Amino acid sequence: MGKETEIKFSEIPLPSGKLMLVDLDKTLIDSNYQITNQGIFDEITRVQSLGWQIGLSSDTPLESLKVWRGRFGMNGPILAERGAVIWSPGKPEIVINPEAEQFFTSLRLALIQQLAFNRINFFHGDVTQFIRNKPVLNEMVDPRLILIQAYRRCSLNFYGKKILPDGALDIDNNLTKQTVELTNRLMETPPFEVEEDYNPDYGICIFSPKQMTKRLGTIRLLTDLDLKKVGIIGDSTTDIVGINIAFHYAVGNAKPEFKNNSVFVAQNSYTSGVIEILKLIKNRK
């Protein structure tokens, strides 16, 4: 690293509270749930040795994020399900909207019952781990398979998959859409406005409270920790929590809107981009 780059790095603002929250999907890991640069482990250790807390902020469920937190050796808090569930070391979990937890638990059970009634194959468990294990399911007669994330508490998500002749899985967006329609039919008048987020690139749909955002979760976390600003490393518009409570740092593959709201944009993508951002902390007080 040259002197000119070091001067540039020294001018980039960092949160005085020494807390950095990192998004997971398409930030710390790529679209295949893979870590793209193994140097991230040493970099996190180095930054934390300087008194920083490194945590996670993601739409992923808390239990899955706890596994990732342990894998990366992080020491900081977790914002799960887009800020709906908050966990800090040594403190009890916080569910911002208990009503949403009850509503989506009932909805998920109703969906499972209907899938079973219609004889559609489904998996109810840790979907991320299921996909990472790359199961071969050639014994299934019906090629339709719905993957339902069991660990979500204040939201509901599922993937539509089709089982190929060799037993591998592929995206089935038609099945996802059919399941979205089924879920909407099962949904009695909710006590709040529900947002439907369908992503054809993954064949996934997420139902969540529309009013729940990472900003609300971040504000609650900062209040509990008595901090004014946090660092946010991310890639998408959902990672924008507001410049009044955060400095935003974008990985190279981030969407333009997130880059435009960031104080620093990494040249590298995914895990390598996170490493590049964490290096901003080098030799900084």
Position 132 scores a pLDDT of 75
Is 90 exceeded by the pLDDT of residue 166?
no
Position 140 scores a pLDDT of 65
Residues 122-155: pLDDT tens digits?
A: 999 988 778 777 777 766 678 899 999 999 999 9
Is 70 exceeded by the pLDDT of residue 188?
yes
Is 50 exceeded by the pLDDT of residue 1?
no
> Residues of the chain with pLDDT > 70: what percent?
95
Is 50 exceeded by the pLDDT of residue 7?
no
Is 70 exceeded by the pLDDT of residue 121?
yes
Query: DSSP labels for the chain?
Result: --HHHHHHHHTS---TT-EEEE-TBTTTB-TTS--S-TTHHHHHHHHHHTT-EEEEE-SS-HHHHHHHHHHHT--S-EEETTTTEEE-TTS--EES-HHHHHHHHHHHHHHHHHHHHTT-EEEEE-HHHHHHT----TT-SS-EEEEEETT-SS-EEEEEEEE-TTS-EEE-HHHHHHHHHHHHHH----SSPEEEEEETTTTEEEEEETT--HHHHHHHHHHHHT-S-EEEEESSGGG---TTTEEEEE-TT--HHHHHT-SEE-SS-HHHHHHHHHGGGTT--
Mean pLDDT confidence for 239-258? 97
Contact by Cβ (8 Å): 177, 209 = no
Is 50 exceeded by the pLDDT of residue 270?
yes
Is 50 exceeded by the pLDDT of residue 5?
no
φ, ψ at 88 (rounded to 5°): -125, 145
Is 60 exceeded by the pLDDT of residue 252?
yes
The overall average pLDDT reported for the chain is 92
Instruction: Tell which wins on pLDDT, 4 or 167.
Output: 167
CATH match for 16-96+212-281 among 3.40.50.880, 3.90.245.10, 3.40.50.300, 3.40.50.1000? 3.40.50.1000
Q: What angle do CA 125, 126, 128 make, to 5 degrees?
A: 140
For residue 111, with 0-12 CB atoms within 10 Å meaning exposed, 13-18 middle and 19 or more buried, which class applies?
buried
CA 114 remoteness from chain centre: 28
> Residues of the chain with pLDDT > 90: what percent?
82
